[in-house]
Structure 1
Amino acid sequence: MRRHLLAAGAALILATGLSAAQAQPASAPATAPAVKPMDAAERRDVVEKLAKTLDANFVFPEIGARYAAMLRANLASGAYDSLTDPDAFGAKVTADLQAVAPDGHLRLATQTAFQARRPSPADVPASARPVGAPGLEETAMIGDVAYLRFNQFTGDPETVRKARAFLLAHADAKAVIIDARPHRGGGLDEMDAILPLFYAKTTHLVRMDTRAGIEDEGPMADGPTLVRQNSAPTLVSHDHVVIPDTTETRLQTAPIYYLTSRRSASAAEHLALAFKRTHRATLVGETTRGAGHYGGLLDIGDRFAAFVPVGRSYDPDTNWGWEGKGVTPDVAVHTDQALDEALKLAKAKGAHPN
């Protein structure tokens, strides 16, 4: 089972659910079918299943219990009795959850709503908008600077191969720019493929705490790049670790520049913090979105799903995580100026971009 980080737009794949990142937009029918109104039995079923799911799986057990208690109290008091429209019901339940404890990922909605691709808000600059299919949008040499632009870490084997192959083919580059301005999340596979080319020694990047019950289902298996750490009984902790490539070392001393925007989320932020706390790359652009909890979509009843955060990533030295705050850049510029600024910085280090 592939490992995925939670995000607004991407998720840890759970054994019982689909990744939001992988959900594909359904083809719109010529005539939209009539929406069946909710009845009391469906409302009760959805609320009870959601309460049970959050109590068992939410990353912070005490908050999961508070969510569950609130949902059951609202159901008993009749707070949802007047809601027959599924979208309105999902919005109300989500708002009630956020009022107990804000979380950038936690959401209840219909499965159809999760499958629909959300357009970028009108105020998002062009440089932070995805322009291609999910994954690696572009690779190019800008003079002697290797440039890669990701809008998601999909974990697709061909995408992983292509990213690593590009860097291997241009291992004599004088600098590397990784453009994560449109990056909305994903998994560890791309990172595990390219980071060994950048680090000269084994390095612990960030720590990931996953709710113990979820860990039992096996999506975050121990391995060379996920090293088990001591943790509380309710959690399973891993350090995400990079192990250097011993066959190609030239890029291990090359300057790296990582471009961010306020839309860079989840796995993009995981890599941002990894680069920042290990001082391996210079972050250029804007403070990231602040989506630090990872999770997955779980079916809740017949037509609803919930994105449930089951874990968090953070700096193990300080216990600092970026949920609700974002990762700040080393060089703060408007996202549209980030590439030009990174090229200037690379040139000052001896690169020769065109």
Structure 2
Amino acid sequence: MPTHAQIIDRALHRIVAGYVFPERAVEIDRAIRDRLAAGEYDALTGAAFCEAVTAHLQEVCPDRHLRLLWQDEPQSAEPEDDDTGRAAFLARLRAENQGVRLVEHLHGNIGHLDIRRIADAGEGGRAIAAAMELVAHTRALVLDLRECRGGAPTGAAMWCSYFFADDQVHLNDIYERSTDSTRQYWTVSPLPAPRYPDRPLYVLTSAATFSGGEDVAYTLQALGRAVVVGETTRGGAHPTRRHPVTEHITVTVPTARTVNAVTGTNWEGVGVRPDLPVPAAEALEEAHEDAIRRLG
């Protein structure tokens, strides 16, 4: 079993090599090694050890994607290549119906989509289209992201694309440290289901909404396309890679950053703030009632 020093050394190696802000990675490395030398982790094991290191990582650099994670079930400790990591991600999305949990029509012909993951646009595009096809003739739509924990930037762009008239809307950019390059994300055309560009749109959020779910909420809000209802989200805006450290421990390293085309920044550390703040449990009822009022 690796020692605390070995685990931290492996994790910090990944952070220093890959973290999107290299200068902050140096600060993180120094701070965690100082705590290790002071014996702060000596009495900790398993999940408690990972939680303590994560708290200290985020104390130096408040990045919600920067974490040391414990898994009870053993995993391969061999480094994953890009293809293996992507295959596992896509398999998880397939098992979760590409993130689409529920499609329903509420009273007054208001659509409600409960989305738990943001699918990859390639494999998940048909599921996104199927959901949008089923709400195509509603008078308003509620996009429920209260339990959405993340997903793919390509899927976030596809979801957003349905709510604009064409492919001429610049959504955001993502800067990748490893290649020192920036990829632009625009609305997509053509789409396999009808667009929904001109009817009321509500996005529901909670304190648990994270990462890819926040991407969709923030983008639609920044572009003035949706009313966000619920709670301020968790605040994780940096695309991330996972690296096994031991059979039970993984380090997650943000390797890129999102820059919104309207605001010039993102939701990292601050979350997406709702236009209509209400407890998450009341957000669907609030959005539904507001839509009925608006439509008359």
TM range, normalised to the smaller chain? Answer: 0.7 to 0.9
Q: Give the one of 201, 226, 230 matched to 1:256.
A: 201
| 2:174 and 2:182 in contact (8 A); partners too | yes
> d(CA) in 2 for partners of 1:141 and 1:159?
22
State the Cα RMSD in Å. Answer: 3.0
Q: Identify which of structures 1 and 2 has the higher relative contact order when contacts are C-alpha pairs closer than 8 Å and 6+ apart.
A: 1
For 1:156 and 1:206, locate their aligned partners in 2 and report how far apart those are by CA, in whole Å: 16
Structure 1 runs not aligned, ≥5 long? 1-35, 116-131, 216-234
Partners of 2:52 and 2:207 lie apart in 1 by 27
Total equivalences in the alignment: 274
Q: Report the TM-score when normalising by structure 2.
A: 0.79
Pair 288,146 (structure 1): closer, same or farther in 2 beyond 3 Å: same
Structure 1 match to 2:228: 283
How far does the alpha carbon of each residue in 1:67-89 deviate from its partner, in whole angstroms, 9 at most, with x for none? 223344455x3536834734444
Q: Secondary structure at the match of 1:307?
A: strand
Three-state SS of the structure 1 residue aligned to 2:196 is helix
- Distance in 1, matches of 2:195 and 2:261, equals 29
- Map 1:27-176 to 2 at 5 A: 42-75=3-36, 77=37, 79=39, 82-83=42-43, 85-112=45-72, 133=96, 135-142=99-106, 143-155=108-120, 160-176=125-141
Question: Which amino acid counterpart does residue 69 of structure 1 have in structure 2?
Answer: R
Q: Which moved more, 1:192-201 or 1:60-69?
A: 192-201
1:313 to 248, 258, 275: 258
Cα 1:278–1:52 change in 2 (3 A) is same
- Cα separation, 2, equivalents of 1:101 and 1:86: 23
Partner of 1:47, secondary structure, is: helix
Q: Which moved more, 1:325-334 or 1:182-191?
A: 182-191
Moved more, 153-162 or 327-336: 153-162
**Aligned-pair distance for 1:114?**
9.6
Larger displacement relative to structure 2 (189-198 or 99-108): 189-198
Per mean C-alpha deviation after superposition, the further-off stretch among 250-259 and 79-88 is 79-88
Q: Is the 8 A contact 2:156 2:212 kept in 1?
A: no
Instruction: Determine the C-alpha separation between the residues in 2 that align with 1:183 and 1:238.
Output: 24
- 1:263–1:288 contact (8 Å) kept in structure 2: yes
1:276 shift after superposition = 0.9
SS in 2 for 1:186: coil
SS at match of 1:251: coil
**What is aligned with 2:184?**
239
Offset at residue 246 of structure 1 (A): 7.1
Q: Secondary structure, in 3 states, of the residue corresponding to 2:197?
A: helix
Pair 1:339 & 2:270 matched: no
Deviation at 1:268, TM superposition (A): 1.1
Asked if the contact 1:210–1:310 (Cα under 8 Å) also holds between the matched residues in 2, the reply is: yes
Matched, 1:210 2:210: no
Q: Is the 1:45–1:301 Cα contact (8 Å) retained in structure 2?
A: no
Counterpart of 1:147 in structure 2: which amino acid?
A: H
Identity %: 28
Q: TM-score, length-normalised on structure 1?
A: 0.67
Structure with the higher helix share, 1 or 2:
2
Describe the shift of the 1:246–1:98 C-alpha distance in structure 2 as closer, same or farther (beyond 3 A): closer
Aligned counterpart, 2:163: 198
* Deviation at residue 179 of structure 1 after TM alignment: 0.7
Runs of 4+ in 1 over 6 A off after TM superposition: none
The answer to whether the 8 Å contact 1:258/1:284 transfers is yes
SS of equivalent residue, structure 2 residue 283: helix
> Structure 1 residues 150, 114: closer, same or farther in 2, change over 3 A?
farther
Distance of 1:341 and 1:86 partners within structure 2: 42
**Aligned counterparts of 2:215 and 2:291: Cα–Cα separation in 1:** 23
Q: Distance in 2 between matches of 1:78 and 1:250?
A: 58
- Cα offset, 1:189, TM superposition: 4.6
By how many angstroms is 1:50 displaced?
A: 1.8
Whether the 8 Å contact between 1:200 and 1:249 is mirrored in structure 2 is no
Q: Deviations over 1:29-49 (max 9, x none)?
A: xxxxxxx6x5xxx33332222
Q: Take 1:81 and 1:349, find their aligned partners in 2: how far apart are those partners?
A: 56
Counterpart CA distance in 1 for 2:123 and 2:246 is 35
Q: Give the whole-Å Cα distance in 2 for the aligned partners of 1:185 and 1:59.
A: 19
Find the counterpart in structure 1 of residue 84 from structure 2: none
2:133, 2:194 within 8 Å by CA — same for their partners in 1? no
